[in-house]
Structure 1
């Protein structure tokens, strides 16, 4: 029992020690120390919430609400991280309307849908916890399935595991996801960039087309979600962290009814352009970029000009 207590007490004690050291150490070293404290706190929070997610997933599946598993675990992670690190994400009103469809919280209620978002760092897991709609599941690398706690939780909560090295297996996984979307009205969240960009300015990596083929196959809308560049909060390369609130904009759904696989390229380009425009806008109104005000929607500056000014 004594060994167990010491084991449980060691991580929080180490975190407190790291925070205390930031007060007396030189600024550059204190910055790295604070970053390490953030990393340790984040890992502990993730393990705790993954453990909670395993129990919650089992209980929810028993009562027929397994589709809520990732939503409830995500919200637990949201509040745990807010209390432990002081960082969170919030949905802001973008004001964009397309074809009578609005973005923001209204768009998050779209069900089923393929939600797509830009991928900056590992902190995007917290973004999902803050923004994730009900009855939605993520896609993940197949290798994560075998991780203790986190992998167990993901396996129990309808995660779509993708074997990127096996195209046949990956296609079968998307076929299963499309069927689940139609029968259970379960949405899917995908990072179309495929990897983290670690961007310090508004930029997107090239999009992979899997998410758009899935949306067309299931005949469900694409809902783009854009997270403001947050290098001022977390810069992994510089080993720097600063607590804060990061803005997220949800764009109006893009319908796919009547589209065929031949339309995936056009749908992908349309989505990426809309997300890039919004990412540039967010960098001016909520990020730590140059702060130059953008023109109103009735202004003369076009997409190229807005991107150039970023």
Structure 2
């Protein structure tokens, strides 16, 4: 429980100290918006790395060479824990917004940071609102901001290598912009806390990035199955990495 307490305390203190930092960032943004964006990205990435260290996480990263360095992408990952966001965001090489459930928009201070970092909020029970969120994500990609989404729609509590069906609507961002899809397999993240809340347990987590999938390069029939194609790639990586945990 000590790790849990220290992790929560650090997060709370960071958000409180972040109030004046947000104001300073706002001033920077008036002069140079890109500098503000990058500064905010690096600050949050640092905080997430500290949380991971407090929790005793050993992180192995595979396939980083598959990340394009000259264009925004659509990250697609499996989802079993809030640590999926903490760990994967700390690795993003450039500006990246996450599509999160709309309840997080109501969390004070956290919602300000999330909006500052191009995160979007989705109500999956409202199809019209969900579509607007996806279209906004496509706009961000056109502006050079990558987007990350977990298309299972919720945290998967079943067997790690058995994914929930991917929602094909999540891939419209790539279809509308032509940006590459990056399959992202996250192994063992539930072992940190999701398997035994609220206790935090040190563990080994693997994140692997698959080769980019370019929708426009796929045959027309396969474009309609982009979700299932990406899901299969992620599932194969999860099965492969299961022996490395």
Same fold (TM over 0.5): yes
Paired residue for 1:85?
55
With over 3 angstroms needed to count, the CA separation of the structure-2 counterparts of 1:232 and 1:61, relative to structure 1, is same
With over 3 angstroms needed to count, the CA separation of the structure-2 counterparts of 1:83 and 1:229, relative to structure 1, is closer
1:41 aligns with 2:6: yes
1:209-240 superposed Cα distances (whole Å, 9 cap, x missing partner) = 22212210111110011112345544524765
1:192 aligns with 2:151: yes
1:48-71 superposed Cα distances (whole Å, 9 cap, x missing partner) = 444566635535533212543663
Question: 1:262: Cα distance to partner?
Answer: 7.3
My pick for the range that moved more, 217-226 or 160-169, is 160-169
CA distance in 1, matches of 2:140, 2:218: 19
What do you get for the CA RMSD once the two structures are aligned? 2.8
- Please report the TM-score for the alignment, with normalisation by the length of structure 1: 0.68
Judge conservation of contact 2:4–2:200 (CA < 8 Å) in 1.
no
Judge conservation of contact 1:217–1:261 (CA < 8 Å) in 2.
no
With over 3 angstroms needed to count, the CA separation of the structure-2 counterparts of 1:233 and 1:159, relative to structure 1, is closer
CA distance in 2, matches of 1:52, 1:134: 24
1:64 aligns with 2:33: yes
Give 2:106's match in structure 1, choosing from 146, 156, 170.
146
- Aligned residue for 1:253, secondary structure, equals coil
1:265-308 superposed Cα distances (whole Å, 9 cap, x missing partner) = 41111100111011000001x12xxxxxxxxxxxxxxxxxxxxx
- Please report the TM-score for the alignment, with normalisation by the length of structure 2: 0.83
Judge conservation of contact 1:215–1:221 (CA < 8 Å) in 2.
yes
Paired residue for 1:250?
209
Question: 1:158: Cα distance to partner?
Answer: 1.5
Paired residue for 1:279?
238
Map residues 1-310 of structure 1 onto 2, 5 A cutoff: 34=1, 37-51=2-16, 55=21, 58=26, 61-62=29-30, 63-65=32-34, 66-68=36-38, 71-92=41-62, 103-107=63-67, 109=69, 111-182=71-142, 184-199=143-158, 201-237=160-196, 241-257=200-216, 265-284=224-243, 286-287=244-245
Question: 1:107: Cα distance to partner?
Answer: 1.3
With over 3 angstroms needed to count, the CA separation of the structure-2 counterparts of 1:104 and 1:204, relative to structure 1, is same
- Aligned residue for 2:162, secondary structure, equals coil
Question: Over alpha carbons, which structure has the higher Rg?
Answer: 1
Judge conservation of contact 1:225–1:249 (CA < 8 Å) in 2.
yes
Structure showing greater relative contact order (alpha-carbon pairs closer than 8 Å, 6 or more residues apart): 2
Judge conservation of contact 2:88–2:207 (CA < 8 Å) in 1.
no
With over 3 angstroms needed to count, the CA separation of the structure-2 counterparts of 1:50 and 1:138, relative to structure 1, is farther
1:79-117 superposed Cα distances (whole Å, 9 cap, x missing partner) = 32244222243312xxxxxxxxxx424416362111011
- Aligned residue for 1:131, secondary structure, equals coil
Uncovered stretches (5+) of structure 1, i.e. residues with no partner: 1-33, 93-102, 288-310
Judge conservation of contact 2:96–2:117 (CA < 8 Å) in 1.
no
CA distance in 2, matches of 1:238, 1:153: 25
Uncovered stretches (5+) of structure 2, i.e. residues with no partner: none
Judge conservation of contact 2:188–2:204 (CA < 8 Å) in 1.
no
